[in-house]
Chains A and B, each alone.
Chain A
Amino acid sequence: MKQSWTRRLTGFVLAAATVGLLAVTPLAAPTARAQDNAAAPVAATAAPDANVTAPDANATAPAAAAAAPATAAPAAPVPDKGDTGWMLISTALVLLMTIPGLALFYGGLVRQKNMLSMLMQVSTVTVIGMIAWVLWGYSLAFTDGGGHDKYFGGLSRLFLMGVTPASTVATFSTGVFIPELVFIVFQMTFAAITAALVVGSMAERVKFSACCVFAVIWPLLVYYPIAHMVWWWPGPDAVAHLPAGAAIASGLSWGFGAIDFAGGTVVHINAGIAALVGCLILGPRAGYKKEPMPPHSLTLTLVGAGLLWVGWFGFNAGSNLESNGYAALAMMNTFVATAAAGLSWILVERITHGKASMLGLASGLVAGLVAVTPAAGFAGPMGAIVLGLLVSPICIFFCSVVKNALKYDDSLDVFGIHCIGGIFGAIATGVLVDPALGGAGIVDYTTCLKDGDISTCDTATYVMATQVMAQIKAVLVTLVWSGVGSAIVFFLIKFTIGLRADPEAEEEGLDISEHGERAYHS
């Protein structure tokens, strides 16, 4: 694409200004340096938020990630080896989900001439995300943001400064901690896969360089803030020690009382809406709706789906941060919701089209995995089955009826499965967590010290309408923040280096035009 150098220069200046503004803003606000095992954020006693003093808002949900380093305990807490071992394995499993799980799942769905480009885009976005995470991502997501702590974190863990093998972070049980490095590396895989998911909607026409720039900028504007808003909280020990009625410093969505076990909002709704925005700005593939573009290898797609499922045990059960009954519950739900959703999808196909398809089964499995992600440690197994049975028809509706009616080219149905499945799962979590429905209930950490024994905490009073409302609010915040933020990122890229490959390159196939390789030679 020929662009005048002045246009490119202007674009780069704008891009640099945006990044510069982002970097400068946290510096302007006072950020507490997180010390190892330091006290909970002092902000907890500062300006009490009207929301947070209400009883249900104080019912702290086991949101998917512990935040501040452990409360100042007299002796340095020693992480349990079982918990740490499980978390290390979970981390590896989530990487497996991405490379090669997601890469193959997506790759099999595109045409032969674009197979390598799909593998490259997923893999490269992933590795860029990993480096960015340890440089600034972790800090921006999981530290105290001072004045803007509701929306994103600060710079106290930039380049992981201050982190040592002895640093620990809280889990969801009082008195239980895991090494901070384990938490960082586990969350790193989440940040990486979220960005990688997005490229699915732009398959077969997006430029590789655009993907690389996306991998750096998008998390800054979208992923790190949303992760912070949903998962940043002081940790169970800090909350237990707070004076009665004190405000709990946390991210915005967490402050609503919304619960998201493993990232239905942070990962799936987020990636899904970003993908929709991306494919709309990018435009459809040449020949879309006219030329046939069937998947070139559903065999590989199923291989990918299988790796996704197995890896997802690390994603969901690992989000428990400990190896205990809740992790087992998350694993159980990740089995049955997924199985139910797979069956449900092919059943719908059998009824509507007369044949159950392999792509339908693979899609159903993924839809179930997405829907159970926010609910994994909260729903009961029977509730998880219902979740799986219901999500597939909904996703089918969006992947076929809605997509064909509105004619957008979300090539690999990232919106239809991840966004829609995630929205359904996130809202359903508010229902399925009900102990009366077999759910695990939500722990109220402010009650832990009531009886003098910090290890026993009561379940919060559950009101379905209130909880579902909180879920809806978190979903809306995610949709709006990600939708707008992603639009900014995609337009930024479009008007600087360009988003789309040349028509000739697209026609020939991105494998040869962007990467100089062919996936297959016969």
Chain B
Amino acid sequence: MKLITAIVKPFKLDDVREALTRAGVEGLTVSEVKGYGRQKGQTEIYRGAEYAVNFVPKVKLEAVVDDGGVAAAVEAIKTAAATGKIGDGKIFVLPVEQAVRIRTGETGSAAL
């Protein structure tokens, strides 16, 4: 099992979700985050007070997927989230040790 973490532009969330569903990923956790990479922030000005805002709002998706489905899921996210401009985001894949479905107690791949 692998944890796929993707940081994408907020307006791309729906496209990515649809693409993941088509790729066979049925569960997802989404959080609103802020961050920066090569996409720098803006300068905001409030009545004479200037603030360099370094962080840009993003959306983080997390999905735990069977080893066999990782490639398809990553490809789905990559295609759906891309705009070609700086700030499109990144995808990370991490190993998962254990997964449990709380209602039934199933573990491993059966929990996904």
Q: Which residues of A contact B (CB under 8 A)?
A: 292-295, 353, 355, 357, 359-360, 363, 396, 399-401, 403-404, 413
Contacts and interface: CB of A to CB of B under 8 A. Distances in A.
A404 B48 contact: yes
Interface string B29-72: 00000000000000011111101010000000000000000000
B48 A360 contact: no
Contacts of A413: 47
A363 B49 CA distance: 14
Nearest to A357: B45
13 contacts: A292-B51, A292-B53, A294-B44, A294-B46, A355-B45, A357-B45, A357-B46, A359-B46, A359-B47, A396-B48, A399-B47, A399-B48, A401-B48
Contacts of A353: 45
Contact of B46 (A295, A396, A403): A295
Q: Which of A292, A293, A363, A400 has the most CB of B within 10 A?
A: A292
Given A355-B45, A357-B45, A357-B46, 20 more contacts: A292-B51, A292-B53, A294-B44, A294-B46, A294-B49, A295-B46, A353-B45, A359-B46, A359-B47, A360-B47, A363-B47, A396-B48, A399-B48, A400-B47, A400-B48, A400-B49, A401-B48, A403-B48, A404-B48, A413-B47
Contacts of B48: 396, 399-401, 403-404
Interface string B2-26: 0000000000000000000000000
Nearest to A397: B48
Contacts of B45: 353, 355, 357
Contacts of B53: 292
A396 B45 CA distance: 13
Contacts of A363: 47
Contacts of A355: 45
Nearest to A288: B49
Contacts of A295: 46
B51 to A, nearest CB: 4
A285 to B, nearest CB: 12
Contacts of B51: 292-294
A409 to B, nearest CB: 10
Contacts of B47: 357, 359-360, 363, 399-400, 413
Contacts of A359: 46-47
Contacts of A396: 48
Contacts of A293: 49, 51
A400 B50 CA distance: 10
B92 to A, nearest CB: 27
Contacts of A404: 48
Contacts of B46: 294-295, 357, 359
A399 B48 CA distance: 6
Nearest to A363: B47
A292 B53 CA distance: 8
A401 to B, nearest CB: 8
Contacts of B49: 293-294, 400
A399 B47 CA distance: 7
A340 to B, nearest CB: 19
A98 to B, nearest CB: 22
A357 B46 CA distance: 8
Q: A-B pairs with the 5 shortest C-beta distances?
A: A400-B48, A292-B51, A399-B48, A294-B46, A399-B47
Interface in B74-112: none
A413 B48 CA distance: 10
A188 to B, nearest CB: 31
A293 B47 CA distance: 12
A404 to B, nearest CB: 6
Q: Which of B44, B45, B51 has the most CB of A within 10 A?
A: B45
A396 B49 CA distance: 11
A393 to B, nearest CB: 13
Nearest to B45: A353
A237 to B, nearest CB: 47
B12 to A, nearest CB: 23
Contacts of A399: 47-48
B32 to A, nearest CB: 10
A401 B47 CA distance: 10
A294 B43 CA distance: 11
Nearest to B54: A292
A399 B46 CA distance: 10
Contacts of A400: 47-49
Nearest to A413: B47
A114 to B, nearest CB: 15
A294 B45 CA distance: 8
Nearest to B44: A294
B16 to A, nearest CB: 23
